Structure 1
Amino acid sequence: MGNPLHLKSLNHISIACRSVEKSLDFYQNDLGFFPIRRPGSLDFTGALYMLFNYGIGIHLLQSEDPDKIPKISQINPKDNHISFQCESMALVEKKLKEMRIEYVKRRVKEGGINVDQLFFHDPDGTMIEICNCDNLPVIPLESQPISDPAARISCSAHKNKASVLGHLVYLYTYESMALVEKNLKEIDGIEYVKHGVEEGGINCN
């Protein structure tokens, strides 16, 4: 399948929040993200906090209609979720208990390899997974060889036809904006909107 959109990596995840202050506290103090400067050209009305750690960004945006964000109480590991790998599952579980965060445990077994998972919600019901998934090797299907991580991301994006899941938005970095737009036009069924951000003489499209 190749890499039709010339993607390189995951850049950030944007989350519409019922209360951006509660979400900011959660992602900073519970998950360890730190705030970064918001570009001045993002001058729209509404609170936006940009956080970063572990090689990815989290953008927290105050929802214009917070009552429309579904309230989720049951923890379902099959829901859409963000997954983080950790150094020690035992330490993560200990910390979750200390913070009184409700969670669900799961274990995946494959060829004598165990992958442990902990699932819980952020303040807006977004599912978070903590795992040691790097225990499990990535083995491509023979019919769809994967040459590099960017190709693996590309396959996922093409299969889902869009990168919007619920109130989460996944953003990928790319090699060439012109090539991305050209290939989006060629892929049937994908609509897109162009937006640019300017900061200190630097343009981000």
Structure 2
Amino acid sequence: MLKPVNILMVGVGGQGTILASKVLAAAAQAVGYDIKVSEIHGMAQRGGSVVTQVRLGEKVYSPLISEGEADVILAFEELEALRWLSYLKPGGKLIINNQQISPVPVLAGAAEYPQNIIAQIQARGINVQVLQALDMAIACGNAKSANVVLLGALAKNSPIEEKIWKDALAATIPPNLLEVNNAAFTAGFTAGTAGR
């Protein structure tokens, strides 16, 4: 029996949340999960929110995750983590990239980027893992593979074995980018902490 899992991926346009969800879906499908995926793009091309809801199980009827029902939130950016935190279920896990990308109202001077987001989240007693995914991706050779670093950390917290994830990565990533993305995945997987 495959245990149902609800995963919310949140970030901004250009961070690769959609690609990450495709790799996740391919890995889950390979081990027999039924999968439903819902994508929400809020002016993604202009740095707006991109939210991908992924539900896995024996049989999944709806792609939508209700508030308080996400087993894992994979946050590609700090403010998006805070914005979607109410979707995390009690005892769920938040994996967060410590990157800050200012939304349009902040860039326009109409709002301020909230301070100490990670400390605020940690103060609530949430099971949170913070990764410097952008720095790790740069160290692997490509800043754009920060999404795959985060995916590696997610994989460490999943019931799907590492080889299946690597196969899904190879099936999704263009061959000329596979080496750097494999390195990014391994970096995230190594840094990932399973459970609490």
What is the TM-score with the length of structure 2 in the denominator?
A: 0.30
- Structure with more of its chain in strand, by fraction: 1
Higher helix share: 2
Q: Give TM-score, length-normalised by structure 1.
A: 0.29
Q: RCO higher in 1 or 2 (8 Å CA, sep ≥ 6)?
A: 1
